[in-house]
Structure 1
Amino acid sequence: MPRDMPRSVGRASVLRVPRMSTVDLIAIELRKAIFSGALPVGSPLGEVEIATQLGVSRSPLREAAQRLVQDGILIAIPGRGMSVAVIEGDQVDDVYVMRLAVESQAVRRITRANDSRAMARITRAFEEFSTASAGDDARAMGDADLEFHQVLVDAAGSERLTRGMATLVMQTRIASFSVPEGYSVRRSISPTYERLLAALAAGDADAAVIALEEQFEDAVSRLRGDDVTVETVDVDVDAEEQVFRPIDATAIHEGR
């Protein structure tokens, strides 16, 4: 795997699971590979090769893959097996419609709770995003952006919102990979982020939702190719012959 993934990747598989099963671990590894681009959008899921690389049988691999089908991350075609989803056109709009529903509910819960610790976590995530955007690592920028939105939803204190957002983070990354010109990120942070933070600090949920709406409208326009005025940075996606490493359950349980 090219690098460590954001903390959000794999969350949907492990919430409320006291000890991860082989299927849980496989699902996380599949998510990581898709999120990083090691398994490209539209590519078939080579069951034999992946099972061999992970050191597992095909049965738990198929079970894990079915979870990702249910999440819209993989697609299953009768008689042709499974492949990584492609998200483009109207599907991009649909992802952001769902993101707006989830994140709007999150900001309303956050402003009602007026929890200083939650605001501190959100602010820290934005600072990490700002630091990444000041550098030259385009992938780090994209990862920090999605991590900020996951932290925002986590701060609402709802397991189901967190679970839903973890899936939407994956779908957003797939939409970015599905752009014909290749995956790119904004060179600068949208001013809507500052407005979102200011609205949250002021306890103004309506203003926070408006900031999200504007931010998402801009994102959809860029992903659909309607807005070519925003300066972007291309993200290198390295192809790897050995996409997966054998699963080490002990290492994952201990957080290594």
Structure 2
Amino acid sequence: MPKPPVVGAQRSMVALERMSTVHLVAVELRKAILAGDLPVGGPIGEVEIAAQLGVSRGPLREAAQRLVQEGLLVSHPGRGMRVRRIGPDEVSDLYEARLAVEAHAARRLAQRPERVQTAELEACLARLVAVSEGDEAVPIGDADIAFHRELVRLVGSPRLSARIDTLLAETRIASLSASDGYQVRRSVSSTYRELVDAIASGDGEAAAEALSRQFEEAIARLTGRDEQTETVETTLGHTPATFPRLDSP
């Protein structure tokens, strides 16, 4: 007696392949947005981007919807999707959410300070200090984001890490949304050193306080209230974004 067909086997395989394609498209879109290659407020050209990636518009739209959920894109019915813009009026609330996550992470790390974890933060801070001696804004911004991502990652909570990834992406968009171009602080705030030292010494409240002051400084700069701190600036998004074909070897 012949074996009955395995119902759903082919559908599962197709679904898995489609999910993989959508994931790869989402990765490329996210990279382009956070690098400023797709400018804030600008449209997502579905036809052009799909052609460059070598995919149909279906996976592209599905990937873009993921980024809508992440807060990187906004959808306008009948007008397509655009890269989100985060203006000065949203900056304070953004950092309030970041403080809730990162201050908690700092307190947790300070409860049982470990030399390996402190060393990881020291390495991130050293990288930030090193690149801040240069004149390129994007590497400085990337090093700053890496420090804060590592602070939360060391707690070991996938949910907290996912949340901070979204908030850090929004922070980059807020910086890219500035009317005078993408700017980062040239000098590294002393609060970074205070934060790492407080965690190493087991003082969670001092660590949280250092973060709070660091974020207040960032809010003042991003909202135009701080005109004294020297910054490194660059203008992004003036050349059309290009995407690699996903079927390339």
Structure 2 length as normaliser, TM-score? 0.89
Structure 1 contact 41–84 (Cα < 8 Å) conserved: yes
- Structure 1: gaps spanning 5 or more residues: 1-16, 252-256
Q: CA deviation at 1:240?
A: 3.3
Is the CA contact 2:113–2:201 (under 8 Å) kept in the aligned structure 1?
Answer: no
- Counterpart-to-counterpart distance in 2, 1:248 and 1:215: 43
Q: Deviation string for 1:182-228 (max 9, x for gaps)?
A: 11111100111111111111111100111111111110111011111
Structure 2: 5+ residue stretches without partners: 1-15
Is residue 2:168 matched to residue 1:161?
A: no
Cross-structure match for 1:203: 202
SS in 1 for 2:236: coil
Give the aligned partner of residue 179 of structure 1. 178
- Give me the whole-angstrom Cα distance separating, in 1, the residues matched to 2:58 and 2:31: 20
What is the deviation of 1:229? Answer: 0.8
Separation in structure 2 between the aligned mates of residue 247 and residue 108 of structure 1, nearest angstrom? 42
In 2, are the aligned partners of 1:122 and 1:155 still within 8 Å (CA)? Answer: no
Alignment of 1:209-220 (within 5 A): 209-220=208-219
What's the CA shift for 1:248? Answer: 4.6
Write the letter of the residue equivalent to 1:132.
Answer: V
Shift, 1:78, TM fit: 1.3
Match of 1:8 in 2: none
> What is the Cα deviation at residue 105 of structure 1?
1.3
Q: Name 1:66's counterpart in structure 2.
A: 65
Aligned ranges for residues 1-256 of structure 1 at < 5 Å?
21-237=20-236, 239-248=238-247
Note if contact 2:39-2:236 (Cα within 8 Å) is conserved in structure 1.
no
- 1:237 is paired with a residue whose SS is coil
Aligned-residue offset at 1:102: 0.9
How far residue 241 of structure 1 moved from its aligned partner, in angstroms, is 3.3
Q: Which of the two has higher C-alpha Rg?
A: 2
CA shift at 1:24, angstroms?
1.0
Question: 2 CA distance for matches of 1:229 and 1:188?
Answer: 12
For the Cα contact (< 8 Å) 1:96–1:216, is it kept in 2? Answer: yes
Contact map agreement 1:185 1:235 (CA 8 A) in 2: no
CA contact (8 A) 1:74 1:85 kept: yes
Distance 2:245 2:42 in 1: 21
Residues in 2 aligned to 1:120 and 1:212: alpha-carbon distance in whole angstroms? 19
Q: Summarize the Cα distance change of 1:218–1:70 in structure 2 as closer, same or farther, 3 Å threshold.
A: same
CA distance in 1, matches of 2:56, 2:177: 30
**2:10 aligns to what?**
none
In structure 2, distance between residues paired with 1:235 and 1:203:
39
Q: Greater shift after overlay, 34-43 or 233-242?
A: 233-242
User: Counterparts of 1:113 and 1:51 in 2: how far apart (Å)?
Assistant: 49
* Count of residues in correspondence between the two structures: 232
The alignment's C-alpha RMSD in Å is 1.6
The alpha carbon displacement at 1:89 in A equals 2.3
The code of the aligned residue for 2:87 comes to E
Taking structure 1 as reference, are residues 62 and 150 closer, same or farther at Cα in structure 2, changes over 3 Å only? same
Q: Which runs of 4+ in 1 moved over 6 A?
A: none
Q: Please report the TM-score for the alignment, with normalisation by the length of structure 1.
A: 0.86
What is the distance in 2 between the residues matched to 1:120 and 1:217?
26
Deviation (angstroms), 1:242 = 4.8
Cα distance in structure 2, aligned partners of 1:242 and 1:222 = 28
Distance (Å, rounded) in 1 between the aligned partners of 2:55 and 2:238? 23
The one-letter amino acid of 2:183's match is S
3-state DSSP of counterpart to 1:21: helix
